[in-house]
Structure 1
Amino acid sequence: MSDDGLIKVKYVQRQKAADGSDLLYFRKGGYREGPLKAAFGTQALQDEVKLILDRIAKVELANSTPRPGTVGGMLKAYRKSSEFLTLAQITRSGYDDYIEEQIADIGDVLLGEVTRSWIIGLRDAWALRGHNAANKRMQVLKNALAPAILDEKDTRIDGDPFHKVAKVKRPHAAGEANPAWQDYEVTAAIEDAIARDTPGLARAIALGRYGGFRRGTICNLPLHARTKGYDKHGDPERRLYWLTEKRIVLADKREDARLIDVIARTPNRAFTVAYNANGMKWKERQLNQAIERLMDRLARAGKVRAATDEDGKVYCPLTIHGLRHARGVELALAGASDSEIMSQLEQTSEAAAKIYRRQANRRKLADAAQDKIDNVIEIQRRGKAKNAG
């Protein structure tokens, strides 16, 4: 309230009428309404403005809420579906960002306008942001529109617009996303972590390489998941028994002797097997950063493979997921079947297992070819030595 007893009301402007009286108008942004009925500086004017603001807020809310029969409406419904709610927390979090973005960008598109050519155009536009991000956005949209596509009574979407729409391919120059670690690199990383008094990081690396666990399970695997069991001969053995974090698949397997060794050499400092420098369980992003710092330092020291970025800075291209790939290739090289690989890595489909087997077969064939070359070189060497003698 001002000194003259008048109530100050925001968004009100005064203008002089032809007869000299005051006309009051409401203005907020591009919205204008008036002349207002109440007198300037009164409680009645404040109440009148409040009613206008409430009405504007309702309109803005209605405009921001996806309408039924639109892509935005399907995205909003997908977020509340059991399919979405049963996803892993980290997956839901990532999908949430894509859903918000798509509601803002394409939320007003009517379902009848969703065609294969529209989907392809959208995919190509998203491809500019990177192949992985584009494919994830496509998957979220496909999941959200699935009920309308599969419902035979719902004719708003004609057929399956995603049919024969290929994913965005990884650029050839990008290289392998998560290259498998070599054994010398695993050893270098574990020994460096122990030497620097970060035993929980050494354990995390060992769980990925010798347990084949995903990052989420590495961060959350509790000490009591290491159980005592008995082998087929009745001898005691250490086993890992736990529901994995992402796929909620039961891990029930004998613990690798190399993992047992790393855990035996390091102390228990948390209720989880792996832990951060503060003796607390790892957060996934925190573990990523710790692995990156460790491997970049080892790359600069020439102890693990190295690459150079656009600025000429040396870094290590290895990621924590590459530890799981190393375990998968190792299993395939040992002759494990697809089902055995799936059981070891807690997978629900054979797709990844087949990839590991193909990688292992290529390595075997490449090594066999090199053996033949070595044999030819050895024969030539012996021939030259014989002629020289």
Structure 2
Amino acid sequence: MIERPTDKVKYVQRIRRPDGTVDLYFRKGGHREGPLRSADGSPELQAEVNAILSRLARTQAAQTPKAGTVGGAIERYRKSADFIGLALSTQVEYGRLLKEIELDVGDVRLAEVDKSWVRDLRDLWAPRGHKATNDRVQMLKNVLKPAVEDDRIKTNPFSGLKKLAPPHDADEVNLAWTDEEVDAFIALALKRNMPGLARAVALGRWGGFRRGTICNIPLSARIIAQDDDGLAQRRLYWTTEKRKVLCDKREDSRLSAFLESTPAKALTIAYNQRGHPWKVRALNQAVTRLAIALAETKRARPNLTPHGLRHARGLELAYAGASDAEIMAQLEHTTERAARIYRRQAERRRMADSGQDRVDNVVALKAERKRSSNGA
């Protein structure tokens, strides 16, 4: 039985035992300690509680990152508007990286951070893989940005720092799906009675959405609006999960036709086998399983990912001649960087095809001359 203290000693809790005796415990938040040595109502009780409070304060101070260190900058970043404004799933992933970085270099003073230190740290992380390394370097850059801007770090230590390149024999990350692979995947998903998964792939390929949006975009995001001529059109209107960017675009006719041909079984456009919204990890796993089955029968390349569907949409826009601004609006980008990448890839393909056309013309011309020579 727990009794309320009567002597006003804060954080003291009384527990009465079956034999009538009373034990005293210290309780603050999740910390519990006792039984206490001091007698109930004695002057020594407050002194014992004060000693415990002092010890807890010292422990907390030792665990709290010191100001002027990388750990202090990490703690400040966790409380910043930039971090709080991220989607919850992104906060969880970033939090994991921040914890690892704090364990590695949290005690390093900001005065010690310079280009050579960052370069050495990147090389130290390199055995973890190029993506893991680059993710950590980018996270550290986000954390230290305020310190660079207010001159606590005198020069930008990330200026000129190159990303860690993948091994030469590594597969391309997030391959852009071909139309044949999309068609094969959707056909297999429908054959296995997984229309919600097929819808998820359709949203990625013909809507260009990130995985978080694919998992959460509701049926109500599909609205009927009027175009400039007053004619009805289907539009997608939603605030995306990751960057909180407004999506307001006409629905691709291929997506419209597919969604109309498949059942809507949930409040979200895409759904899992139980008719519930997808979780990002579960969606990744479901796509991987079917993609592996397609790869085994040579109907798709290995290592297809949901994000590769978004790349396919971006390249399609670029091949069609869309501007950077148009690509940004379609894919809900906040910067032009990704749009420029898609456009450069499309331009390289056009130039490569143009070069092959020239070769084909020369080959055809030589063949024609040879036939003419033989005929003479």
Mapped partners of 1:190, 1:206: distance in 2: 8
Quickly say closer, same or farther: Cα 1:121–1:203, change in 2 above 3 A. same
Which residue is equivalent to 1:123? 122
Contact 1:206 1:259 in 2 (8 A): yes
Query: What is the aligned length?
Result: 338
Deviations 1:241-274 (A, max 9, x none): 1111111111111111110111111100000000
Which residue is equivalent to 1:200? 196
Aligned partner of 2:318 among 307, 326, 332? 332
* Matches for 1:224-303 after TM superposition, within 5 Å: 224-303=220-299
Post-superposition shift, 1:377? 4.1
Quickly say closer, same or farther: Cα 1:43–1:215, change in 2 above 3 A. closer
Mapped partners of 2:64, 2:220: distance in 1: 46
TM-score computed with the length of structure 1 as normaliser: 0.79
Mapped partners of 1:355, 1:157: distance in 2: 31
Post-superposition shift, 1:43? 5.2
Mapped partners of 1:128, 1:161: distance in 2: 22
Whether 1:212 and 2:211 are equivalent positions in the alignment is no
SS at match of 1:172: coil
Quickly say closer, same or farther: Cα 1:50–1:342, change in 2 above 3 A. same
* Matches for 1:149-168 after TM superposition, within 5 Å: 149-152=148-151, 156-168=152-164
- The residue type paired with residue 360 of structure 1 is A
SS at match of 1:118: helix
Aligned partner of 2:340 among 339, 346, 354? 354
Post-superposition shift, 1:54? 7.1
TM-score computed with the length of structure 2 as normaliser: 0.82
Post-superposition shift, 1:91? 2.2
Deviations 1:249-300 (A, max 9, x none): 1111111111011111110000000001110000001001111001110110
Which residue is equivalent to 2:42? none
SS at match of 1:344: helix
Post-superposition shift, 1:110? 2.0
Post-superposition shift, 1:87? 1.6
Quickly say closer, same or farther: Cα 1:63–1:266, change in 2 above 3 A. same
Pair member with larger Rg: 1
CA RMSD of aligned residues (A): 2.8
Post-superposition shift, 1:139? 2.2
Q: Which runs of 5+ in 1 are unaligned?
A: 1-41, 306-315
Which residue is equivalent to 2:16? none
Percent identity between the aligned chains?
52
- The residue type paired with residue 256 of structure 2 is I
* Matches for 1:5-154 after TM superposition, within 5 Å: 58-152=57-151
Mapped partners of 1:200, 1:77: distance in 2: 41
Deviations 1:116-135 (A, max 9, x none): 22222111111221222222
Q: Which runs of 5+ in 2 are unaligned?
A: 1-35, 40-44
Contact 1:208 1:321 in 2 (8 A): yes
Mapped partners of 1:86, 1:224: distance in 2: 24
- The range that moved more, 286-295 or 96-105, is 96-105
- The residue type paired with residue 357 of structure 1 is R
